[in-house]
Each structure stands twice: as structure tokens, then as C-alpha cells.
Amino acid sequence: MNKDQRISRLVEELSGAPAGSGNGEIAEHPCYAAFFLCWNAQRYYEAHDVLEHLWLRTENEDANYFKGLIQAAGGFVHLQKQFERPTHPKDGRRMFPAVRLFRLAERNLRPYAPVRHRFDIDKFLSLLNRQVNAIVGSDHQRNPWSPEVAPKIALNTSAR
């Protein structure tokens, strides 16, 4: 099974719909829904993968929006790995790349604020900025992420 097939299967398991399905509305797309499910389960790597599955097929103005969300998930992958193995030669040095990805995510997401596809971009950017400020404020020594305080994100069902 190749990566594309593996991701398609994961999306279908999480969302109940095939990865390639959708009614044209991004907020209803199975890959988009799976991103939020993975994120809230602290499966940031999988969140990255399922949204990348959609991003690679995007040829419109949403490409940078998806890219920013993927970068944010990547930043949390770094924080999670650093938390799990803080003294590991590689994982112990993941604070710098996390900050870099959060800043890239901010640049890609800012143009879509305040809300895009039922997601509160302003609130999400505040979350990313808190992570960056905590890391930079500790001179990249303190990881603000832990399983107990892992952020949850959700779509606003009333926003368009």
C-alpha cells in the first residue's frame, strides 16, 4: 500500500467518507474534517498528511491556506517529539524548527483571517503566537506543549 492509499484509507476511517469525495464546500471535505479530528487526537503528523492529501490537489486560492495549516501541524509535531524525548540528540533540538514552522504558518494564514471555511483564523493565529512567544521567551529552552494542555481546534458551524 502506497502513501496515497494509506492516507485515503485513514481519511475514510476518520470521516466516514472517501478522501476524494465532497460536495465542493471545503468545510465539508473529508480530508479537511480528518485534519481537525487528527489534530484534536494529538496526531499532528497524521493531521499534516490528511490535509496534504487535499493540498496537493488544490489549484486555487486555498493552496496557501492549507499550506499554513499543514505547517502549523508540523510545528506541533516538533513540539510533541521534543516533549517525548527532550534529551535525544535530534528531538531535543526541535524548538527552533517549531518556531520557524509557526511563523511560516502565520504568513500563509494571515491573508485568510478572520475566518476561512468555518475556521477562526484569528483565534488560531493567537494560539500559534502564544507558542512562539513561550518558546522564544525561554530562549528555546521550554516547550509549552504537553499532552495535558494540547490545544483543541474546531470548525464553527455557524461561520461561513
Phi and psi at 119, nearest 5°, equal: -115, 130
User: In this predicted structure, what is the pLDDT of residue 158?
Assistant: 64
- In sequence order, the 6+-apart residues with CB closer than 8 A to the CB of 66 are 51, 52, 54, 55, 58
Residue 159 has pLDDT above 60, yes or no: no
User: In this predicted structure, what is the pLDDT of residue 106?
Assistant: 98
Residues 95-141: pLDDT tens digits?
999 999 999 999 999 999 999 999 999 999 999 999 999 999 999 99
Residue 20 has pLDDT above 80, yes or no: no
d(CA 75, CA 112): 20
Q: Which residue has the higher pLDDT, 23 or 6?
A: 6
DSSP state of 80: H
* 117: number of Cβ within 10 Å: 20
Which residue ranges form the domains of the chain, and what is each CATH number? 3-149 (1.10.3450.10)
Q: 147: which 3 cell numbers?
A: 499532552
